[in-house]
């Protein structure tokens, strides 16, 4: 889920104005469908998490976030 370049960051004069850091979120408590939401999406967007291959109770997603303090919920 790593995107190439800084496609979601605005660029000014060839220099990106925002740095996004890939962060892995893991939910090891099972479920049929698991979603991630947080302050980084203003609590509106629900990001689907994928089952980790070989571990049916573990879900994960990698999401690119700007540096700083973020709250989240799975």
Write out pLDDT tens, residues 61-71: 999 999 999 99
State the CATH number of the domain containing residue 24: 2.60.40.10
Burial 3-32 (b: 16+ CB within 10 A, else e): eeeeeeeeeeeeeeeeebeeeebebeeeee
Residue 23: predicted pLDDT:
96
In a domain, 2, yes or no: no
In a domain, 48, yes or no: yes
In a domain, 15, yes or no: no
In a domain, 65, yes or no: yes
Say if CB 71 and CB 39 are below 8 A apart: yes
In a domain, 28, yes or no: yes
Residue 4: predicted pLDDT:
39
Range of the domain at 49: 20-73
Predicted structure pTM score: 0.72
Number of domains into which the chain is organized: 1
In a domain, 3, yes or no: no
Whole-number Cα distances in Å, 67 to 14, 19, 52, 55, 73: 20, 7, 26, 30, 18
């Amino acid at each position: 889920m790593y995107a190439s370049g800084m496609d979601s960051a605005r660029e000014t004069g060839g220099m990106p104005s925002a740095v996004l850091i890939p962060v892995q979120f893991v939910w090891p408590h099972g479920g049929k469908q698991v979603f991630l939401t947080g302050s980084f999406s203003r609590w509106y967007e629900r990001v689907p998490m994928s089952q980790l291959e070989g571990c049916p109770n573990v879900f994960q997603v990698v999401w690119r976030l700007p540096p700083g303090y973020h709250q989240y919920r799975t």
